[in-house]
């Protein structure tokens, strides 16, 4: 049994930032890394919006954060939590093998995963022209044609945002109407840079090898089965995100497709002593720096929770 004041589940920007603050507050935090040590940024290339560093590879940024957490005194465990019991106190978490963690506070930082199309070619060009985050990667496609896949609010917002960079944005949608709010649709239809391809499904992403990069898409007209090739340099998949909430979805209050609910201006969840930080709770911003900010808040709030226990 490993006992701690602060169990941090997840090793993305939220988890490691909580670990730095938790360690410096003498809480002896344990970070359980999960199956993706370092989180989502380990599957991208350049990160150009982490303040203070003009450009860094995603995996390098996460190695730096891990080193910082360890240097501050956090224990980093290469383990996966497969069961979390928040109905008893101290909280109990079961890791792989026989590992059991007993914690007086829990920071849930299990993140989220973008939903992808599931094409082999999509995997190949992820980080090399294929992205799921316009805020993160739109800047790389200045003066180019960009395709956005999807028909909900996110897809329309991303298409509108990407017109700041692109010469043209092609929105590709499987149906003949959008699910996005009317006000967003109005903005989209008024924007002369955006062309919508209705009733179309992406079959393949085309690209080149050296250097690896996207050159276009093959789309199928769902009604006629006719295949068309479109030229573009960037492909943004905007078909939703899934918060990684398996451990807590039956124990904590969630909303908007499973995001953990926290109190206003706080990371406090529906169970005292359990805090949620980063993409597991954030359906709006989904950025490394906002995740890190919430990790800091969670650690400060956990510290206050623990000191109240001692009174
Ligand atoms: C391709 C790509 C490029 C991006 N580029 C940028 C960018 O340039 N700038 C930017 O600001 N943002 C970018 N983002 C978004 C950014 O990566 C996320 O907003 C950020 O990583 C969220 O951090 P997080 O700590 O909440 O969770 P994540 O990074 O999602 O990490 C979640 C962690 O939880 C762990 N975990 C999950 N389940 C368990 C479990 N059961 N037990 C233990 N651990 C578990 C995982 O192993 C992982 O370590 C990008 C995202 C992607 C996918």
Q: How far, in Å, from the CA of 39 to the mean position of ligand 1?
A: 4
pLDDT of residue 43: 84
Nearest residue by C-alpha to atom 43 in ligand 1:
34
Higher pLDDT, 267 or 136: 267
Domain residue limits, the chain: 2-114+242-310, 120-237
60 is catalytic: no
- Point out the ligand 1 atom lying closest to the alpha carbon of residue 280: 26
SS (H, E, C) the chain: CEEECCEEECCCHHHHHHHHHHHHCCCCCEEECCCCCCHHHHHCCEECCCCCCCCEEHHHHHHHHHHHHHHHCCEEECCCEEEEECCCCCEEEEECCCCEEEECCEEECCCEEECCCCCHHHHHHECCCEECCHHHHHHHHCCCEEEEECCCHHHHHHHHHHCCCCCEEEEECCCCCCCCCHHHHHHHHHCCCEEEECCEEEEEEEEECCCCEEEEEEEEECCCCCEEEEECCEEEECCCEEECCCCCCCCCCEECCCEECCCCCCCECCCCCEEECHHHCCCCCCCHHHHHHHHHHHHHHHHHHHHHHHC
288 CB within 6 A, ligand 1: yes
pLDDT in tens, 43-102: 888 899 999 999 999 999 999 999 999 999 999 999 999 999 999 999 999 999 889 999
Nearest residue by C-alpha to atom 53 in ligand 1:
40
Q: How far, in Å, from the CA of 54 to the mean position of ligand 1?
A: 20
Site to substitute for ligand 1 among 123, 133, 137, 240, most atoms within 8 A of C-beta? 133
234 CB within 6 A, ligand 1: no
d(CA 105, CA 306): 7
Q: How far, in Å, from the CA of 52 to the mean position of ligand 1?
A: 20
If you average pLDDT over residues 14-30, what whole number do you get? 98
Higher pLDDT, 290 or 46: 290
Nearest residue by C-alpha to atom 50 in ligand 1:
41
Q: Which member of 85, 96, 133, 250 is catalytic?
A: 133
pLDDT in tens, 148-178: 999 998 899 999 999 999 999 999 999 999 9
Site to substitute for ligand 1 among 59, 130, 136, 139, most atoms within 8 A of C-beta? 136
With bands split at pLDDT 50, 70 and 90, how would you rate the model's confidence at 228? very high
CATH 3.50.50.60 corresponds to the domain 120-237? yes
293 CB within 6 A, ligand 1: no
Nearest residue by C-alpha to atom 2 in ligand 1:
44
pLDDT of residue 126: 93
CATH 3.50.50.60 corresponds to the domain 2-114+242-310? yes
Are 2-114+242-310 and 120-237 in the same CATH fold?
yes
Nearest residue by C-alpha to atom 38 in ligand 1:
110
If you average pLDDT over residues 176-188, what whole number do you get? 94
35 CB within 6 A, ligand 1: yes
């Amino acid at each position: 049994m490993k006992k701690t004041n602060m169990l941090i589940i997840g090793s993305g920007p939220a988890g490691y930032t909580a670990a730095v603050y938790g360690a410096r507050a003498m809480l002896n935090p344990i970070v359980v890394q999960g199956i993706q040590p370092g989180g989502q940024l380990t599957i991208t290339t350049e990160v150009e919006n982490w303040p203070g560093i003009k450009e860094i590879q995603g995996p390098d940024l996460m190695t730096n954060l891990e080193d910082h957490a360890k240097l501050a005194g956090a224990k980093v465990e290469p383990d996966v939590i497969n069961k979390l019991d928040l109905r008893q106190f101290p909280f109990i978490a079961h890791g792989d093998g026989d590992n059991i963690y007993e914690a007086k506070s829990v920071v849930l930082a299990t993140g989220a995963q973008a939903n992808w199309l599931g094409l082999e070619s999509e995997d190949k060009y992820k980080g090399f022209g294929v992205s799921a985050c316009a805020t993160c990667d739109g800047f790389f496609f200045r003066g180019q044609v960009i395709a956005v896949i999807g028909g909900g609010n996110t897809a329309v917002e991303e298409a509108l945002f990407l017109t700041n960079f692109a010469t043209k944005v092609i929105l590709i949608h499987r149906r003949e109407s959008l699910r996005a709010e009317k006000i967003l649709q109005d903005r989209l239809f008024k924007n002369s840079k955006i062309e919508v391809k209705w009733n179309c499904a992406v079959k393949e992403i085309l690209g080149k090898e050296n250097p690896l990069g996207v050159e276009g898409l093959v789309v199928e007209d769902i009604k006629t089965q006719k295949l068309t090739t479109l030229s573009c340099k960037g492909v943004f998949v905007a078909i939703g995100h899934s918060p990684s909430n398996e451990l807590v979805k039956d124990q904590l209050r969630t909303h908007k497709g499973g995001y953990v609910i926290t109190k206003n201006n706080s990371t406090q969840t529906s169970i005292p002593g359990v805090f949620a930080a980063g993409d597991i709770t954030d359906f709006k911003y989904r950025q490394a720096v906002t995740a890190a900010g919430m990790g800091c808040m969670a650690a400060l709030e956990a510290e206050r929770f623990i000191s109240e226990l001692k009174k």
